[in-house]
Amino acid sequence: MSFVKIIGIVPARYKSTRFEGKVLADICGKPMIWWVYKQLINSRGITEVYVATDDNRIKDVCEAYNMNVVMTSEDHPTHLDRLYEASTKIDGDFFINVNGDEPLIEKECIETMIPHGVDPESSYAANAMMILEDPIDVVDSSKIKIATDIEGYGLYMARSPIPFPKGCSDYKFKKFVGVQCFTKSALRFCFEAKRGYLESIEDIDEFRFLENGHKLKFIETSATTLSVDTPKDLEKVRKIIEKRIREGRIAF
């Protein structure tokens, strides 16, 4: 069996609309993006890791911390478009994407997304999801909720709570997690497909697959994660990482 090359990619842009420069925000003496990169590097099955950015400020920080970086166009409307360009510049069979605002991501979650028995020439696309434990997150529009079919393929994604528990209340809401796995073919499909009606309404990039007839597999993980969308989220993350350091669960 030939060697399968799995590339970890961290898409990172400076001009985030909700929190500019967040990927460089300090967390216990290290930039946020360093924490994401570190977990990818330590994940079993990952061959190489790169930060994909369009900003020299991020590039300079990556180089200062000895992180591989690839420059991409500043005109990409979504992280998936940036990821596709990176896939054309880096040789690989599968591309594991971890968003740069996921500093609490655990390597166990990343390793869950490593494909097994999947043809690298296929158009495979998969996304992590987790059960929401905090009721507040159910109504938080920054937390994307997921509904899947019985095989785990996405049916709908929404910023509002779905499904509505009219007929049954015995249900756990599930949240989109910014950890994904794609073949180059799947990324090309996404890049070439048109932005759809639902994608523009919900502002969820991954609708590009669903609205254009491409399956998107959702894989459940129990790993702890909290995407940093606001300065308030950043403070929560700092406290969690400080606690992990005190407990000896994190070593620099």
Q: Are strands 69-71 and 217-220 parallel, antiparallel or unpaired?
A: unpaired
Domain 6-246: CATH superfamily is: Spore Coat Polysaccharide Biosynthesis Protein SpsA; Chain A (3.90.550.10)
Cα 103 to Cα 36, 141, 200: the distances in Å are 5, 20, 27
Task: Give the per-residue pLDDT at 252.
Answer: 59
The dihedral region occupied by 28, where left means phi > 0, alpha psi between -120 and 50, and beta the remainder, is left
Q: Are strands 125-131 and 145-148 parallel, antiparallel or unpaired?
A: unpaired
Q: How far apart are CA 215 and CA 232, in angstroms?
A: 35
State the first-to-last Cα distance of the chain, in angstroms, to the nearest integer.
Answer: 36
Q: Report the predicted TM-score, pTM, of the whole model to 2 decimal places.
A: 0.91
pLDDT in tens, 149-171: 999 999 999 999 999 989 998 88
Sequence-distant (6+) residues with CB within 8 A of 35 are 27, 103, 104, 241
Residue 9: CB atoms within 10 A of its CB come to: 29
Residue 225: CB atoms within 10 A of its CB come to: 19
Sequence-distant (6+) residues with CB within 8 A of 91 are 5
Q: How far apart are CA 220 and CA 237, in angstroms?
A: 22
Task: Give the per-residue pLDDT at 39.
Answer: 92
Task: Give the per-residue pLDDT at 242.
Answer: 93
Q: What is the pLDDT along the chain (252 residues), one digit of tens a residue?
A: 468 999 999 999 888 777 888 999 999 999 999 999 999 999 999 999 999 999 999 999 999 999 999 999 999 988 999 999 999 999 999 999 999 989 999 899 999 999 999 999 999 999 999 999 888 889 999 889 999 999 999 999 999 999 998 999 888 999 999 899 999 999 999 999 999 999 999 999 999 999 999 999 999 998 777 788 888 889 999 999 999 888 887 765
Task: Give the per-residue pLDDT at 251.
Answer: 62
